Every structure is written in C-alpha cells, then in structure tokens.
Structure 1
Amino acid sequence: MQATLSFLSTFYQLGHSFWSASRPWLIAVCLLVTAVLLLPATGQLENSHQVLLKYLPYGLSIIVILLGQQFVQGRIAMAAVNLLIGYSIIQLHLQAPLNQDNTRAYFTLLSFYWPLNFFIIYWLPERKLISPLGCLLAAVISLQIASTYIFVHYVPDYAQTLNQYLALYPFGQDPEDFMGNWHLPLASTLTLLIISLVLLTHTLIKRDRSHCVLFASMIACTLICASFDSNSISSLFSSLIACALLVTLLFNSHDLAFLDELTGLPGRRALMNELKHCGKHYCIVMADIDFFKKFNDTHGHDTGDDVLRVVAQELAKVRGGGTAFRYGGEEFTLLFKRKHAEEAEPFIERIRQDIADYPLIIRDQENRPKIKNKRSLKSKASTTQVQVTVSFGIAQRQAEQRPEDVMKSADQALYRAKEQGRNCIAV
C-alpha cells in the first residue's frame, strides 16, 4: 500500500510539473495545430462562409487592439496592429498572380517584414499601444511601407534585383513536394529560421504565455507567405492568430486580477470567489510567517520578498486537495474542499516541517541575485543562514457558517498558534 501511494505521489508530481511547464504553450500550440488541421477544409466552405472568413480578421484584430489598449497589454495590441496591416496588404495588393512584377515585389517584401515585426514586438517591454513604444513601432512599419513603395516605383531594375537576390520558389516548383510549394526566397527563409530558433530558445527558458503566442503568430505568418497559393490560407490563419491574441489577452487580464504578482499564487479575490462555489463541506487554514516584520526590518525588504516567494513555493506543494492563496502581507490561506480539519492537518504538518527545514541563506547586498523573481536564497557566496517558520490555524466549516465566519475562526486558531510558541498548528 505504501509503495502504491508513493508511486501515485510521484506520478502526480510529474504530471503537475509537466502541466506547469506546458501551460504557457497551450494557446500557441492550439493556434498552429488548429490552423494546419482546418486548412484543407476551407475549400469546401460555401461562398457566404468564405466571405465571412475573409472579413473576420478585420473585426477580431480591431477588438484585440481596443482591449489591449484598455487593459495595458501593448505587445498584444501591437501584434494585432501588425496582423491587421499585413492582412490588409494581402487583400488589397496581392490578389493577382505572383509572376507580375509589382505583385511579386509586394509579396517578397511583405513575406520578410511581416514575420520580422512579430520578432521586434516580442522583445518590447509591456506598455500601452498609444505610447512612445507604440509610436516607434508605427515608425518602423511606416518605414517598411515607404521603402517598399520607393523600391517598386523608383528603382528601374527592381524586377532583376528580385530575381537575383530574392527569387521565389528556391526549392523548385514541384506540386507534389512540400518544399516545392515553398514561396519564400532563400534569404528570407534562412533569416526567419534563425530568428525562430532564437525565439524558441527564449520561450523555452522564459515560459511566458504572451511570448509563446507571439512566437506562434510569427510562425503562422511565415506559413501564410510560404504556402501563399493555398486556398483561403491568409483568411484562416489570420483569423486564428487574432483569436489566439484575444484569448491570450483575456487570460493575461485574468491573471492580473486574480494572481499575486510577487508570489504567483492566487490572491484574495480568487480566494473569495472560490469560497462562493466550494459547497458546505470544507476547511480553511490561515498561515502567517513568524516574526516577519522583525525579519524585514533586519534584512531588508528585498530579502523579505525572497522569503515570501520561498514560503509561497512550499505552500503551493500542499497535497490532500489543498489550494494555496496569498491573503495579504505575510499571510497565506489554504483551502481544503471536502475535507475535515483532522484530515487536512497531516498535510499542513508536512508543509510546516518542510518550511522550517528549508535552508534559507541571506546574501549581502553585493552578492544578491539581479533576477528579482528568483525563488531560491541559496548561494555559494552567502554569509548567513536563517530559519523561517510559519504558524497555522485551521477551522472547519460548521453548519450555517458563512465563509467570512470560517475565516474568522481560522484567524482565531492562528492567534492561538502564535500564543503557543509559533511554528505550530492550532485547530
């Protein structure tokens, strides 16, 4: 029995680790997979549906731009602007055979500039769309459009230049071969391949939802241009990119509202919302870091933030169906649905012991890490090891008790734990 429980615990930890690592990629992967799967079906759509699909990217992009400006998510809004401009150029100037000189020139430069702009947006800091950064992006896109216009209208032998350096179909034109339908010039293909590898490496390290979606959007735009002859590919892929940007914007807004920025745990608003839907059978645990104010005054607020992150990291590992929340300051809350207090207490005891045994090392100011969100305080250059402990108060919901009353009971239990010497559990 013990071996089975150990296996299930290990399996759960591996599954939780995999989900945590893959969650930022969920929207990006769905975008690319859905686009590839739906592309063959677009040719079977009725004319009315084809017309709807043609205009759908316009409406979705405008919605993303407006919401991105309102919710201060400038990169998502800038990506929508870039998508809207690129798609508009395709619809207005590229609805003719690519063997025409003007059309080929517009397509060649668009196929390079369009994905490249997503690469630029990827690295921009988060600002409003209407800001100096937004103006900078507008200047970059304007310069690209102006250079394209000058190249087509004022360079006499531009067609020969394109044939010499940016020839389409670099791998031949074999309809049965995938690379035979590859429209992008070899120079553009190699450049986009290199920057794609750069973004892939960074997204694997950063594991940020917005970065992953911007990377997937760049790949999708590249595929639009690479398989430009495919029926309705620009309308379908652009619609899906806009949908991915919109969903990302909504998820980011949810995180800003319900997740604590310092620790990454759900905040008080998320706790109160969860209590409305957890039924009548649950228990609440209030946790407080012992002597945190004294610790903060002695070692500084930066070190105090590191301690909060470490404690939050340990509390998030709670088993038994518990969920950790940051209540405020140095206080945390654990919610156990469908659990009695005596059932939750062993899991709390394990967390209490893990935090008390955690080797916290205090660095001097010169040896502190530059990355503020680093969750470990360990370092070879550290000088002082300290112990941080946490007191817990558990309250079981009684008949007719409101969530506020249960939390008040848990607070009272926490005060008793403090009176009993701290670093303990009171029920």
Structure 2
Amino acid sequence: MICPIIGVLLPMNIVVFSSLKERGIFNSWGLKRFGIVFIQVVYIALALLSNDSTLLNFFYKEVLAEPLVFTTIPQPALIAYSIVLLLMLLKQLKKQRHLDNAFVAVLIATFIGLHLNAEPLAIPIFFSLSAMILVISVVQDSYSMAYLDELTGLPARRALREDLLKLSGEYTIAMLDIDFFKKFNDTYGHDTGDDVLRLVASVLKNVTGGGKAFRYGGEEFTIVFPHAKITEVLPHLEKLRAAVEKSPYAYVKKIKDDAKRKPTAKNLFVTISIGVAERSEKNDHPDAVIKAADTALYRAKKKGRNCVCK
C-alpha cells in the first residue's frame, strides 16, 4: 500500500530539495525543510492507519484511459517519475553537480525497485542502493568543498599543500599571475573578472608535461611538475602562456540608458606572467621552491609581463 505513495512523494521531494539552496540545518530554513518532511510523514501515517480510502485515491487514480501493461506502478507515480527525471536531466545539462547526479541515480534505482515490487528483495535491495548512492554523493560534495576551488573548478590551496607533502626527488613548481587583473576588474567588473578566471583555469587544466594546476588565491595559480627538471618544464610553460594569450573572452557590454540599442560585443584577451623554480640544494623544500618561483614571477613582471622567467 505504501509503494504508490512513495512513487509520487519521492520524485516530488527530489525535485524540490535539489532546487533549494544550501542554507544550513539549524536555522529557520532547516526548520522549513524538516516541516515539509514532517507533514508528509503525518499524511502517510494517517493514510495507512485510518483506513480512509479518500487519502489514498489520488495515488491509484487512472489518468490514462488505457491501463499500462508493462508495469504495475500506478499511473500517478509513473507520471511523477517521468516528469521529475526529465527535469533533473535538463538541470544536469545546465550545471553538473554530484548531488544532482545522485538524485538521477536514486530515481532510476527506486523506480526499478517499485517496478519489481512483487519480488521479495526488490525494495530492500534497490532502496538500500539508493541510500548508498546518496552517502557517496555527500562524501564527493564534502571533498569538492574542501579541496576544489568553487569558482574555477581547479584544486584549491588545501589540495596543493597535501600534494606538496608527497613530492620527493626532482620536481619543479611554477607560479602564475594574470597580468593587470586588478585594472581589468575595475574596467569590466567583477563578474567579468570571474569569467576570465574561469577561462584561464580552463586553459591551465590542459597543461602538458605532467603538470597539475592549482588555484593559489586571487588571480594567482600554481603548477606542480613532479619528477621533472626546470629545463623539461620550460617548453610546456611557454606553450601554456601562448595558449592563454590566444584565448578570447566574449565580452558583451550592456547598455543601461538606451533600451533600443543592442548590446555591443567584443573579444577580450589577457596574458599571464610565469615564474618557475626547481628543487635544488639551496631550495630543498617545497615552500622554498614556491618562494623561489614567486621571486621569478616578480622578475617576469619587471621584465614586461607575458613571459616565463626562472
């Protein structure tokens, strides 16, 4: 009796809670979420304990004229699953999130469980699988929040610190900085500045030579090349510098005063300066190598920017 109710309420809860922004638990927003769940629990308890058929009629209502022969899932639940699955897939096209991926998997797993309801272990197996999927998703989200930079998607400074502890033998570290970024922000606005940070990060992700890019902070980035000498790394950094220089950002200027005039569009370009250093007898610790790379970055800026210095 409870399966038809779950078949309607579960998809509805998924689409509602996946659309709500995270605002904490122990506050008014968390209380409202708890209230939504509590009302449903009370409704289900009344429906099951009171034997009042009017509370259950909706969940068994035949919406389509012809009964469905391929599944025993009632039509309201089938419609709810179909609509919510479509909405979640469309949402995924706009923005990928671990939790939304998990919700799609939960929809599919619970649907299979309800479809195979006649089998004794179907519900326990597929609903337990759904719970495991959600737990894994929460772990992935926790990792992302701790180790990934939300704006650029690159590993953040905490991830860099942990990777530095793993370094041994030869290695090279590069420090990168977007040239005149403060002036760029002042001219085009912080939203455009954020877009440019994302653009530069997307180029840095594709660094060759075995390097791994991190966001160090602000407009500064770090690339670590384990088991590589500085002479081996320089061509890859020069290639990266040129790639950033050639990557356009399509800037659309919005005109506030004249609604009839169309927004003007133009391509904007930024450059990066790079300082690079390797492990040596003088700099035998990652922090010392980073400091040396920072000094080299300062030389690159003094040299005129948009270049690589060691």
Q: TM-score, normalised by structure 2?
A: 0.85
Q: Does 1:391 align with 2:280?
A: no
Give the aligned partner of residue 130 of structure 2.
241
Counterparts of 1:212 and 1:389 in 2: how far apart (Å)? 36
- The partner residue of 1:272 within 161, 177, 202 is 161
Alignment CA distance shift 1:364-1:157 (3 Å): closer
The amino acid that maps onto 2:183 is: K
- The partner residue of 2:10 within 93, 114, 120 is 114
- Please list, as runs of the form range in 1=range in 2, the aligned pairs for 1:54-133 lying within 5 A after superposition: 104=1, 106-133=2-29
Give the aligned partner of residue 175 of structure 2.
286
The amino acid that maps onto 1:127 is: R
Q: Does 1:417 align with 2:306?
A: no
Give the aligned partner of residue 404 of structure 1.
287
Look up the SS of the partner of 1:394 in the other structure.
strand
Counterparts of 2:137 and 2:253 in 1: how far apart (Å)? 39
Alignment CA distance shift 1:159-1:392 (3 Å): closer
1:273 Cα shift?
A: 0.7
- The partner residue of 1:217 within 95, 106, 113 is 106
Alignment CA distance shift 1:110-1:356 (3 Å): closer
Query: Gapped runs of 5+ residues in structure 2?
Result: 257-261
Look up the SS of the partner of 2:203 in the other structure.
helix
Counterparts of 1:159 and 1:198 in 2: how far apart (Å)? 26
Is the Cα–Cα contact under 8 Å of residues 393 and 426 in structure 1 kept in the other structure?
A: yes
1:215 Cα shift?
A: 1.9
Query: Gapped runs of 5+ residues in structure 1?
Result: 1-103, 173-178, 368-379
Alignment CA distance shift 1:220-1:133 (3 Å): farther
Range moving further from structure 2, 183-192 or 151-160: 151-160
Counterparts of 2:39 and 2:151 in 1: how far apart (Å)? 40
Looking at secondary structure, tell me which structure has more strand per residue. 2
Counterparts of 2:220 and 2:58 in 1: how far apart (Å)? 67
CA RMSD of aligned residues (A): 2.8
Give the aligned partner of residue 193 of structure 2.
304
What percentage of aligned pairs have identical amino acids? 35
Counterparts of 2:103 and 2:267 in 1: how far apart (Å)? 42
Alignment CA distance shift 1:289-1:125 (3 Å): same
Counterparts of 1:129 and 1:316 in 2: how far apart (Å)? 35
Look up the SS of the partner of 2:144 in the other structure.
helix
Look up the SS of the partner of 1:126 in the other structure.
coil
Alignment CA distance shift 1:366-1:273 (3 Å): farther
Alignment CA distance shift 1:157-1:341 (3 Å): closer
Counterparts of 1:362 and 1:198 in 2: how far apart (Å)? 31
1:212 Cα shift?
A: 1.0
Looking at secondary structure, tell me which structure has more helix per residue. 1
1:162 Cα shift?
A: 7.4
Counterparts of 1:232 and 1:124 in 2: how far apart (Å)? 33
Is the Cα–Cα contact under 8 Å of residues 59 and 74 in structure 2 kept in the other structure?
A: no
